[in-house]
């Protein structure tokens, strides 16, 4: 999967710090159809709720799954223990409401919401990357957000190619992969 896209003018917004949470996470939680996430690290992520209380993003995903939103996370390493414990509390997510696919080569960080919003950047789907951690504890991250149809199509095609295991047959790390996606 090699690609060098055509250079062209594309409207983008630069995000740093709290901007990631405000633009990416909040928009993901408003999704009507789908949220596709690619992240190297997958950890429990708490987000601020009404009244300043903190709740797991998985609680929100559980409600979204109940509305039929397609939720996918492509990740590069085993999820953290805290993520797994939280995930296991939501029967709807466990039964397929949130699909998880592990590929040890995944290092990209992307979020696609409803096929309309695309985030590409350095932030993993973690509290320190996109979550509600304070500015003194949050990672220094940069990212771009766009609604450009061509970029959305290209990123979704690459994501789907990995998701369906089309890269597995020629993978030079297949011997290290416990569950290749093409099986």
Q: Tell me the residue range of the domain where 129 lies.
A: 13-169
* pLDDT tens across the length of the chain (183 residues): 788 888 899 999 999 988 898 899 999 999 999 999 999 999 999 987 777 788 999 999 999 999 999 999 999 999 999 999 999 999 999 999 999 999 999 999 999 999 999 999 999 999 888 876 677 878 899 999 999 999 999 999 999 999 999 999 889 888 888 888 987
181 belongs to a structural domain:
no
The span from the CA of 136 to the CA of 123, in Å, is 16
What's this model's pTM, rounded to 2 decimal places? 0.94
Domains identified in the chain, total number: 1
CATH of the domain at 64: 3.30.870.10
Q: Which runs of consecutive H residues, i.e. helices, occur in the chain?
A: 18-20, 26-29, 57-66, 81-88, 91-92, 149-163
DSSP SS3 for 40: coil
């Amino acid at each position: 999967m090699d690609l060098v896209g055509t250079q062209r003018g594309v409207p983008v917004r630069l995000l740093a710090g709290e901007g990631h949470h405000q633009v990416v996470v909040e928009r993901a939680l408003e999704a009507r159809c789908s949220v596709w996430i690619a992240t190297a690290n997958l950890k429990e992520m708490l987000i601020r709720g009404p009244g300043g209380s903190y709740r797991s993003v998985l609680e929100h995903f559980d409600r979204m799954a109940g509305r039929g939103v397609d939720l996918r996370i492509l990740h590069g390493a085993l999820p953290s223990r805290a993520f797994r414990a939280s995930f296991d509390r939501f029967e709807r997510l466990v039964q397929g409401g949130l699909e998880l696919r592990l590929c040890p080569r995944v290092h990209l960080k992307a979020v696609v919401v409803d096929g309309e919003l695309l985030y590409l950047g350095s932030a993993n789907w973690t509290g320190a990357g996109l979550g509600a951690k304070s500015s003194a504890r949050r990672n220094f991250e940069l990212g771009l957000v766009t609604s450009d149809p061509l970029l959305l199509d290209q990123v979704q095609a690459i994501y789907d190619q990995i998701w369906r295991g089309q890269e597995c047959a020629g993978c030079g790390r297949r011997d290290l992969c416990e569950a290749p996606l093409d099986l």
